Chain A
Amino acid sequence: MIKTDILIIGAGPTGLFTVFEAGLLQLKCHLIDALPQAGGQCSEIYPKKPIYDIPGFPEVLAGDLVNNLMEQIKPFQPGFTLGERANTIEKLDDGTFIVTTNKGTKHHAPVVAIAGGLGSFEPRKPLIDNIKAFEDKGIEYFIKDPEMYRDKKVLIAGGGDSALDWSIFLADIASEVTLVHRRNEFRGALDSVEKVQNLKNLGKIKLVTPAEVVSVLGAEKLEGVVIQKSGDNAEEIIKEVDHFIPLFGLSPKLGPIGDWGLEIEKNAIKVDTFDYQTNIPGIYAIGDVNTYPGKLKLILCGFHEATLMCQSAYQRIYPEKKYVMKYTTVGGISGFDGSKKEAPKAVVKAID
């Protein structure tokens, strides 16, 4: 059981900054995120895109913003449960919560802050009738353990970076890699496109374009797929494969959080703007996942919400204590790792 003061669901910019504000109050944080890395949308969808409305940053790349936040919160030693989705929440008699992920990891905290953005990112599944029947029986939407593809026949579908990168990676592991894409053109880092071209020339990757997997075949497990080739050489190809990996990107879904008994409006969680608490005391919602009159889904608003939320969380955890806000310039930052940052003291010296 992972124990912490504030359990943050969602490791996007708002969730990450919560660690900093909580840290100033000497509260420890742990974050859960369905993605394998921190940063939320900023890392997953648009790491190379600039943002212009972060105060104090005339321009910052989304990926750099995440790196900066990770650096900023480092002294407060946040814990991470990545690649797992928060599934269920249980309120104990003492008012604390246990949140369990889809993989069974349990987290115990007196305060839960949902900073879930638009929801957890789920793979976008191709529209093939019986695809569900073969999930984890030859069809995988994520590659968790590349070793499971050793000496297997693998077919990857998709035209983005992940389809390219995994084709390259698996070319050395699998006995056969086929890459299917609806276009002849790929959208990915130039370097990856060139690598795939080389591997294709060497016969290590079979490229089938423009084409689409239209059905999947097999009895107990996946045995093959039907590829519909379009364009001038339109034909249907039946291809024997052990694994089919569709990589069509991710799309966010509110998911299980929607069933936690929270008041939901327009796919977002309703909160009180006094402290961004939900209708369940002790559960807060901050950033893009919440809604209130006048709500704007901006990173900078998420930062503000996180800051006020932490004050309320502090009062909930220590109802008997009185806290007076201190500027970081005055109080400095005392990390849980023993580090200390503070403003240099002025030199007092007489001038002769």
Chain B
Amino acid sequence: MSDIKIKITDREGIVHEVDAPTDMNMNLMEIVRSYELAPEGTIGICGGMAMCASCQCYVASDHELPPMSDDEDAMLAEAFNVKDNSRLGCQIHMTEDLEGLEVELAPES
């Protein structure tokens, strides 16, 4: 297993191209935190349980993502700034299929 490259646009609009390991059981929210692309305490508040929507992001590339769980779906139904391409970063696990993934972090709420 190797690293994949993904493009993350932070809340200030700055694009970061980062290496994401696929062999460390990490999700997109954790990648954002590991590179400190959003201030601590503003992302991943619930720790990755799909219960706070602080890691909401918009998926800009047309990668096939894992289907939404009921939890994620319900959380997004209550979050703000939700678009058709909204997902919760904590529910997107880093796999080799996601090479070249492009996402934008949703505003803090």
Q: Given known contacts A266-B41, A267-B39, A268-B41, is B80 in contact with A251 (CB within 8 Å)?
A: no
Q: Which of A182, A251, A266, A268 contacts B77 (CB 8 A)?
A: A182
Contacts of A126 in B (CB 8 A): 80
Q: How far is the CA of A160 from the CA of B78 in the complex (A)?
A: 8
CA distance A182 to B77 in the complex (A): 6
- Determine if B101 is an interface residue (Cβ-Cβ < 8 Å): no
Task: Tell yes or no: B34 within 8 A of A by CB.
Answer: no
Q: How far is the CA of A185 from the CA of B39 in the complex (A)?
A: 33
Q: Establish whether residues A185 and B77, one from each chain, have CB atoms under 8 Å apart when the complex forms.
A: yes
Are B40 and A159 interface neighbours, CB within 8 A? no
Complex: chain B residue closest to A186, CB-CB: B74
Main secondary structure of the interface of B (DSSP, over half): loop
Please indicate the chain A residues that have their CB under 8 angstroms from the CB of B85 in the complex: none
| Number of residues on chain B facing chain A (CB within 8 A) | 20
Q: Which residue of chain B has its CB nearest to the CB of A163?
A: B78
Contact yes or no, A185 B74, CB < 8 A: yes
Residues A159 and B78 in contact, CB atoms below 8 Å apart: yes
Across the interface, do A187 and B74 meet the contact criterion of CB distance under 8 Å? yes
Q: Nearest residue in B to A124 (C-beta to C-beta)?
A: B109
Choose among B70, B80, B81 the residue with the greatest number of A CB atoms under 10 Å from its CB. Answer: B80
Query: In the bound complex, what is the Cα–Cα distance between A249 and B74 (angstroms)?
Result: 12
Asked whether any CB of chain A lies closer than 8 Å to the CB of B31, the reply is no
A66 CB-CB contact with B under 8 Å: no
CB-based contact B74/A46 at 8 Å: no
- Cβ A45 vs Cβ B46 within 8 A: yes
Give the A interface residue count (CB, 8 A). 25
Distance in Å: Cβ of A42 to nearest Cβ of chain B: 11
A80 interface residue per 8 A CB criterion: no
Q: Return chain B residues, CB-CB under 8 Å to A252.
A: 41, 45
- A46 adjacent to B80 (CB under 8 Å): no
Given contacts A160-B78, A266-B40, A268-B40, contact A251 B45 (CB under 8 A): yes
B52 at the interface (CB under 8 A from A): yes
Within 8 Å by CB of B80, from A41, A124, A159, A181, lies A124
| Nearest opposing residue in chain B for A181, CB measure | B77
Q: Main SS of the interface on chain A?
A: loop
B96 to chain A, nearest CB (A): 29
Looking across the interface, which residue of chain A has its beta carbon closest to that of B46? Answer: A45
Interface residues of A in 23-72 (CB under 8 A from B): 41, 45-46, 49
Chain A residue numbers with a CB within 8 Å of B49 are 45-46, 49
Query: B73: which A residues are within 8 A, CB to CB?
Result: 185
Q: How far is the CB of A128 from chain B (nearest CB, A)?
A: 10
A45-B51, A251-B109 given as contacts; is B41 within 8 A of A127 (CB)? no
Check B46 against A119 for contact (C-beta < 8 Å): no
Report whether B77 and A46 are in contact in the complex, using a CB–CB cutoff of 8 Å: no
Chain A positions within 8 Å of B91 at CB level: none
Residue pairs across A and B with Cβ atoms less than 8 A apart, 23 shown, are A45-B49, A45-B51, A46-B46, A118-B41, A124-B109, A159-B78, A160-B78, A181-B77, A182-B77, A183-B77, A185-B74, A187-B70, A187-B71, A187-B75, A187-B77, A251-B54, A252-B41, A254-B41, A266-B39, A266-B41, A267-B39, A268-B40, A268-B41
Chain B residues at the A interface, C-beta cutoff of 8 Å: 39-42, 45-46, 49, 51-52, 54, 70-71, 73-75, 77-78, 80-81, 109
**Known contacts A158-B78, A251-B54; can you find 5 more A-B pairs with CB under 8 A?**
A45-B51, A160-B74, A187-B74, A249-B78, A267-B41
| A-B pairs, 4 with minimum CB distance | A267-B41, A187-B74, A266-B40, A183-B77
Q: Which residues of A are in contact with B by a Cβ distance under 8 Å?
A: 41, 45-46, 49, 118-119, 124, 126-127, 158-160, 181-183, 185, 187, 248-249, 251-252, 254, 266-268
